Amino acid sequence: MGKQIEEQEKLKDRVLTPTKEAIKAKWNNKLTSPLKSEEKVVVHKEQQGVPDERYIRIKHNGCISILSKHYFQTLSGIKLSAKLI
């Protein structure tokens, strides 16, 4: 559990964008506020309670969601994975 907390600490206040896969995913339309192409989302400061290292809590359009990291990329286009922080 300590490693997960350390990795999540590195992500705090980081700005990301959703991948094309996330935008096209059927689950996206079921979100209260669906993710949009090139939308900037912020990694939420509070990551406690996130199921495991594959997921991340983000803030977007006034909402907070826990989603898989692989649906996000850095502003420079590097796709996140459970290992890449």
What is the Cβ-side half-sphere exposure of residue 74, based on CA atoms within 13 angstroms?
Answer: 9
Q: What's the predicted TM-score (pTM) here?
A: 0.77
Distance CA 38, CA 52 (A): 26
* pLDDT the model gives residue 83: 59
For residue range 38-57, list pLDDT tens digits in order. 899 999 988 888 888 889 99
What is the average per-residue pLDDT within 12-28?
89
Instruction: Domain 2-74: give its CATH code.
Output: 2.30.30
